[in-house]
Amino acid sequence: MHIDQSDFHDQLVRGLTHKMNNILSLFQGYLGLLMDDKKLDPTTVAGLARIKEGAKAASDLMDRTKVLARPSSVVWREVNVADLFRRLQSDFDAVCERGIKLQLDVPEDLPAIWTDTTRLKIAILEVVKNACEASPPGEIVKIEVIAESQSSTHPSAAGKAAQPITWISINVTDTGGGIPPELSERIFHPFFSTRQKQNATGLGLTVALGLVQQLGGGIRFQSQPGLTTFRLLLPSRTRLL
């Protein structure tokens, strides 16, 4: 019997993360009960709170790891880009802290994209969260969405001339310290982070890249001190017709 190693790996990741999340949820629940004990001294309560925080961070890590596996099912649909970003506004507010403000430039007349909305939302939020964390407090993170046409290197169909390909480019720009050139080859590696943050997992960009690639696109970036732009490139609806 032939076993597809990629399918086996993805099923293993999904299964393990599901089991670990069940264990961590039980762990956090019992910690909550312990912390409700009024007889505990403040030092013990503080220690339990740190353990609970660590369990939550581990659960978040499991959720991020799970989305790296190929999806068992993808719900493809035509998506209006401007509508998508309107629905994401409250999510943006949740991931951007420290007074970071978002400046959105999303035209209404962009071509539709053919995508899985859930996975695209996660990818966008991971990149935006990364930009917000990289920016100094009170700065502005810019999100600009544009349509880009590129020449196709292959005929669109037998006997027909090559057609231009239209991509939707979601550009997220921050004003942080930038990515040192010697680290630029590693930023999409799992568990790698340029920031010394206690709960940093180093999975945000890894997750975003994996999801965008599942959707037929890719991620590019340009960086210098004070200005870094990540570009999520996704095929428009017309690209897939």
Mark whether 22 and 86 lie in a shared domain: no
Q: Is residue 72 part of a domain?
A: no
Mark whether 124 and 213 lie in a shared domain: yes
Mark whether 62 and 82 lie in a shared domain: no
Alpha carbons 210 and 188: distance in angstroms, whole number? 9
State both tokens at 54: 């660590």
Please state the pTM of the whole predicted model. Answer: 0.74
Q: What is the pLDDT of residues 118-166, one digit of tens each?
A: 899 999 999 999 999 999 999 999 999 999 877 554 444 445 555 567 8
Mark whether 14 and 98 lie in a shared domain: no
Mark whether 52 and 109 lie in a shared domain: no
Mark whether 33 and 103 lie in a shared domain: no
What CATH number is given to the structural domain containing 163?
A: 3.30.565.10
Mark whether 218 and 105 lie in a shared domain: yes
Mark whether 53 and 85 lie in a shared domain: no
Percent above pLDDT 90 for the chain: 43
Residue ranges making up the domain that contains 156: 77-240
Strand segments, DSSP code E, in 134-215 are: 140-151, 164-174
Q: What is the pLDDT of residues 5-43, one digit of tens each?
A: 455 456 666 677 777 777 888 878 888 888 888 888 888
Q: Is residue 181 part of a domain?
A: yes
Q: What is the pLDDT of residues 170-184, one digit of tens each?
A: 999 999 999 999 988
Mark whether 48 and 161 lie in a shared domain: no
Q: How far is CA 184 from CA 130, 196, 220, 233, in A?
A: 15, 17, 11, 19
Mark whether 108 and 226 lie in a shared domain: yes
Number of domains in the chain: 2
Q: What is the pLDDT of residues 131-140, one digit of tens each?
A: 999 999 999 9
Q: Is 224 exposed, middle or buried (0-12, 13-18, 19+ CB in 10 A)?
A: exposed
Mark whether 35 and 81 lie in a shared domain: no
Q: Is residue 204 part of a domain?
A: yes
| Secondary structure (3-state) at 218 | strand
